[in-house]
């Protein structure tokens, strides 16, 4: 029964996190559209960092992400 009591908190926390992420993403996208160079710089750094994380994730094999050595057994 204690686990069921946490469901409303989990749903509320999830909704809050999604809304905060939406606002943050909107603000970052506005920075990219700005004419001010410092804001465009922040936007570019943000995009480069997160694009780089995706490339890094693709380069890593599933074994490495799960803590394996990445080498096949063959």
Spatial separation of the C-alpha atoms in residues 33 and 26, rounded to whole Å: 11
Q: For 33-67, how does the pLDDT look when each residue is reduced to its tens digit (9 = 90+)? A: 999 999 999 999 988 888 887 777 777 765 455 55
Spatial separation of the C-alpha atoms in residues 5 and 31, rounded to whole Å: 41
Identify the sign of the CA torsion 26, 17, 61, 69: positive
Query: Where are the domains positioned within the chain?
Result: 27-57
Give percent above pLDDT 90 in the chain.
Answer: 47
The helix-helix angle for 37-59 and 7-33 (nearest 10°) equals 120
**Do 34 and 40 meet the contact criterion of CB atoms below 8 Å apart?**
yes
């Amino acid at each position: 029964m204690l686990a069921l009591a946490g469901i409303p908190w989990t749903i509320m926390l999830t909704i809050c996190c999604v809304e905060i992420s939406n606002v943050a993403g909107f603000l970052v996208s506005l920075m990219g559209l700005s004419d001010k160079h410092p804001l465009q710089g922040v936007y570019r750094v943000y995009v480069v960092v997160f694009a780089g994380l995706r490339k890094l994730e693709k380069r890593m094999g599933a074994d490495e992400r799960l803590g394996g050595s990445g080498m096949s057994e063959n």
